[in-house]
A and B are shown apart, each in its own frame.
Chain A
Amino acid sequence: MNNLVDYIRSDCSIVLPNGKMIHPHEIQTYKNFYKREIYTKLNGNTVGKVVLIWSNNLDVILPAIKAIWELGAAISVHDFSLNVVAHPLFANFYKHIDVIIGPPLPDSVLLDLPRIYALETKMSYPEYADGQPAQEIFQLDSTLYPDVTYQLNDTVSGDTVCCITHSSGTTGEPKIIKTTHNTAIDLVQENIKLFEFCSTDRVLHHKTLHHGSLFLNYAIPAFVTTNQHYWTVQKSRRYCCIYGKMFKFVPYRKNI
């Protein structure tokens, strides 16, 4: 390999059942396959590892939330731009990460990154029509998420890490924050209570979904209580909405 990009592209290509190899920029064509691919990775192949979700794409975020909530996966979320990631202050953070699902990296970034399973790239959402948001774009289909055949019970307990993120640190020293599954479940349930989320809510997500603290405090509480979500794509000023039952209301191994 001549550079990191070549490495990533070669390693992250997905071989479809018909033998065709697709690259990340072609993923849109195989969107549903890609969702399944991510969920499978989070489900079985990353047991005992921490997966960094570096994406605000629903196709990545939703399987990640589902994997945390229902399977006990370990996740980190990341919303910082590349120039921040390359900052030496954050270098220590990556020691805790085993796998990244994220965007393509430019040639200039030569970080000693962990293995990258897949790359999320462009995702096209329908444009506004006459100033109105397109609706019912996603009818969530539970068949996209295969049955869980790999049980994590033997390897995951309530006091293992659920989320890792980093804080800027009040005094300028970044800190690594680890949240266990038990704490995450309590935190999500407390936030449901504090913000009065309920099953009849229709939620407009205008926040970045993959920011560290927002993920546990807003995104997961919203997604596990109601099935009606609208999501904004800030840069392109487009909107989409999703309907459909997606999450179990009982989290994985609550009573550990």
Chain B
Amino acid sequence: MEKCLNLCRTEKISKWLIPYRYISELSRSTIAPCDISSTSLITAVGPSRNEMQLIFNNHHPAAIYNNFGCTELGTLAISKTQHNTISEYAPDRFTIINELIDWEIFPTFFKAKFKTENDWKIIGDIVKFSNGVFFWEGRNTVLTFNQHQIKVSDIEKWVRTYLKTSSFSLVPDFEFNLLYIAIFDKNLNTTLNDLNQDLQLTNKFKSCFFSKLDFIEFKDIVQGIKPSQPVLLSYFRGLHN
């Protein structure tokens, strides 16, 4: 990342396309500050607000774009953050909407299609519009623990708060009613036992537990792209924890 930062500065790069979650690395204290005020960063998953603040403080980018999208329809909504709008930023909040898309939003999923086509795509994410702003609230899936139905998206919210990061994927195994977690940041100090103990201390999730946890580097799999759910599921089924 430091070499890219220097390249942005010396070559007056105006757009830097950054893979999936790598932008968070720019907030780390191990990366020397570098003025890239001529460069806008375009990425998929936005950093936490604290990380966003650190990135602007350390490197002064012109803007940071992150987006919500899907393979079926591409970019659906965008967040553009500049130094004077950091206070409005949240990683799951998007203010610029793709005008090509028709939407129908339901409590546990949404339908969307290109306005020029008739083929509605059903996307299993929980989203909402509020005052013209688009919010992503997680994936919709339900697992049963001790006869209690639990939304995986609710556990996802808890994990996001607990780990203070979005660098993970929950992997539900519906066939065997199990839940796995892939963590994409090896600097996070947690274990399967720690996670389960603290999860079960909550009133809402006291019957829930993760069966397997593993730390996975993006670059080990597909060069920075999020590993797909079927791939992770296949991986965890073969993993002995």
A residues in contact (CB < 8 Å) with B: 56, 79-81, 84, 87, 89, 131, 133, 165-175, 177, 180, 182-183, 186-187, 190-191, 194-197, 200-208, 211-214, 216-218, 222, 230, 232, 234-235, 237, 239, 241
Find out whether the CB atom of B15 lies under 8 angstroms from the CB atom of A206: no
- B223 contacts partner chain A, Cβ-Cβ < 8 Å: yes
Find out whether the CB atom of B230 lies under 8 angstroms from the CB atom of A87: yes
B residues in contact (CB < 8 Å) with A: 3-4, 7-8, 11-19, 22, 39-40, 42, 65, 67, 69-72, 74-75, 78, 96, 98-100, 114, 116-117, 123-125, 139-141, 172, 174, 219, 221-225, 228-231, 233-234
Nearest-CB residue, chain A, relative to B2:
A131
Q: Which among B7, B11, B71, B96 is the interface contact of A194 at CB below 8 angstroms?
A: B96
Find out whether the CB atom of B74 lies under 8 angstroms from the CB atom of A170: no
Determine how close the nearest CB of chain A comes to the CB of B154; give it in whole angstroms. Answer: 16
Query: Could you say which residues of chain A place their CB within 8 Å of the CB of B12?
Result: 202
Find out whether the CB atom of B8 lies under 8 angstroms from the CB atom of A81: no
Find out whether the CB atom of B230 lies under 8 angstroms from the CB atom of A168: yes
Query: Are A172 and B233 also in contact (CB < 8 A) when A186-B116, A207-B19, A217-B75 are?
Result: yes
Query: Could you say which residues of chain B place their CB within 8 Å of the CB of A235?
Result: 223
A235 CA to B217 CA, complexed, in Å? 13
Find out whether the CB atom of A172 lies under 8 angstroms from the CB atom of B229: yes
Determine how close the nearest CB of chain B comes to the CB of A80; give it in whole angstroms. Answer: 6
Most buried by B among A84, A174, A212: A84
Query: Could you say which residues of chain A place their CB within 8 Å of the CB of B233?
Result: 172
Find out whether the CB atom of B75 lies under 8 angstroms from the CB atom of A234: no
Find out whether the CB atom of B14 lies under 8 angstroms from the CB atom of A202: yes
Query: Are A172 and B230 also in contact (CB < 8 A) when A131-B3, A167-B70, A204-B4 are?
Result: yes
Find out whether the CB atom of A230 lies under 8 angstroms from the CB atom of B223: no
Find out whether the CB atom of A191 lies under 8 angstroms from the CB atom of B124: no
7 contacts between A and B (CB under 8 A): A170-B123, A170-B125, A177-B71, A187-B75, A195-B78, A201-B15, A211-B225
Determine how close the nearest CB of chain A comes to the CB of B103; give it in whole angstroms. Answer: 15
Query: Could you say which residues of chain A place their CB within 8 Å of the CB of B70?
Result: 167, 213
Find out whether the CB atom of B15 lies under 8 angstroms from the CB atom of A89: no
Query: Could you say which residues of chain A place their CB within 8 Å of the CB of B4?
Result: 204, 206, 232
Q: Which among B8, B114, B140, B229 is the interface contact of A204 at CB below 8 angstroms?
A: B8
Query: Could you say which residues of chain A place their CB within 8 Å of the CB of B40?
Result: 196
Query: Could you say which residues of chain A place their CB within 8 Å of the CB of B75?
Result: 187, 190-191, 194, 217
Find out whether the CB atom of B15 lies under 8 angstroms from the CB atom of A195: yes
Find out whether the CB atom of B223 lies under 8 angstroms from the CB atom of A203: no
Find out whether the CB atom of B231 lies under 8 angstroms from the CB atom of A79: no
Query: Are A237 and B72 also in contact (CB < 8 A) when A87-B234, A182-B116 are?
Result: no
Query: Are A216 and B74 also in contact (CB < 8 A) when A206-B16, A237-B3 are?
Result: yes
Q: Which among A177, A191, A202, A234 is the interface contact of B13 at CB below 8 angstroms?
A: A202
Query: Could you say which residues of chain A place their CB within 8 Å of the CB of B174?
Result: 171-172
Find out whether the CB atom of B15 lies under 8 angstroms from the CB atom of A169: no
Query: Are A190 and B11 also in contact (CB < 8 A) when A84-B231, A207-B19, A208-B222 are?
Result: no
Determine how close the nearest CB of chain B comes to the CB of A189; give it in whole angstroms. Answer: 9
A170 CA to B72 CA, complexed, in Å? 11
Most buried by A among B3, B19, B74: B74
16 more A-B residue pairs beyond the given contacts A195-B65, A213-B70, with a C-beta to C-beta distance below 8 A? A56-B223, A87-B231, A131-B3, A133-B3, A167-B228, A168-B230, A172-B174, A175-B72, A183-B114, A195-B15, A204-B11, A204-B16, A206-B22, A214-B225, A217-B74, A234-B223
